[in-house]
Amino acid sequence: MSEEVRPCIEMTDDEVVGAASVLLVQRGYREAAALMLDVTSVWIERRTVHEDSMSYSYETEYQEVILEVEPRLLPNSGYLVNHIRSAFEAVGAGCGRHITEVSIREVIPRVGPNWREQLARELKGGHQTNHARKVRLEPRHPAEDGLHFTNEWEHRVYQVLKEQQTSLPDNETIGIMPLGALRVPGHTFEPDFLITYRGRVGVIEIDGPHHKGRASADRSRDRLFKHAGVEDVDRLSVEDSTTKEEVEKFVTDFLKHLGG
């Protein structure tokens, strides 16, 4: 009895990217999956190779996944490529695509005729806005109220913060700034949330799997925030935010401490 052949599943490019990213988590490669959240853009290129021999001629199509990341992420991404490639190959096999390559490139800055002025700003610490961080995996990043979020974890925390905001009286409410750039001596940081409450400023950071092994750097960053007048810095691990109730407790405790 012949083995039943499973039909191929039709998938869009974006669905292929999403399926490969989730597969990385399911395989236990959480750091590689976290990198997929940090990519600035991703696309799939189709290439055709024409081959001739004495008796026949044929064309073979293969596909390459291109991931663009910010230059600061490039040095730490090389060893993750094999895991990412394997996930894309598996997803491609399931949807009839011959995905053979994954390339990680750095984002090339966009410049204009006034590039010298742009360079001068970068040398002085960068040209920042109050919503400076590039949102990942466009156009499917979470967004609400005209604000953008890097991932679903940040979005969930925002929704709980917003509920707290609406429950408070107008003359004693909170301000919520997601992904705003903050300059401290020698550094420009983009905290996940800058919160204002009762005349005080606090910072909430959402720590995903990619934060493992960065405790020392995080403490240094938190210390710089506090030296600059940030009253409280608290961190929510995604492993502790699997339910809304856990996020609500974190936000309640944070505001209680921040409000004094």
Domain range summary for the chain, segments of one domain joined by + = 13-106, 143-259
pLDDT at residue 6, rounded to an integer: 56
Q: How far apart are CA 89 and CA 102, in angstroms?
A: 9
Q: How far apart are CA 157 and CA 129, in angstroms?
A: 22
Task: Characterize 27-54 residue by residue with b for buried, 16 or more Cβ atoms within 10 angstroms of its Cβ, and e for exposed.
Answer: eebebbbbbbbbbbebebeeeeeeeeee
pLDDT at residue 128, rounded to an integer: 44
Topology annotation, domain 13-106? GMP Synthetase; Chain A, domain 3 (3.30.300)
pLDDT at residue 60, rounded to an integer: 77
pLDDT at residue 260, rounded to an integer: 78
pLDDT at residue 252, rounded to an integer: 95
CATH architecture group of domain 143-259: 3-Layer(aba) Sandwich (3.40)
pLDDT at residue 127, rounded to an integer: 45
* Per-residue pLDDT tens listing for the chain (260 residues): 455 545 667 888 888 999 999 999 999 998 888 888 888 888 899 888 766 666 666 667 889 999 988 887 787 778 889 999 999 999 999 998 999 999 999 888 777 788 888 788 777 755 444 344 444 444 456 778 878 787 888 889 999 999 999 999 989 999 999 988 788 887 878 899 999 999 999 999 998 765 555 676 778 889 999 999 999 999 998 877 778 999 999 999 999 999 87
Q: How far apart are CA 22 and CA 76, in angstroms?
A: 20
Picking from 11, 9, 73, 10, the residue whose alpha carbon sits closest to that of residue 41 is: 73
Share in percent of the chain as helix, strand, coil (round to 5): 40, 25, 30
CB 11 within 8 A of CB 95: yes
Q: How far apart are CA 254 and CA 58, in angstroms?
A: 64
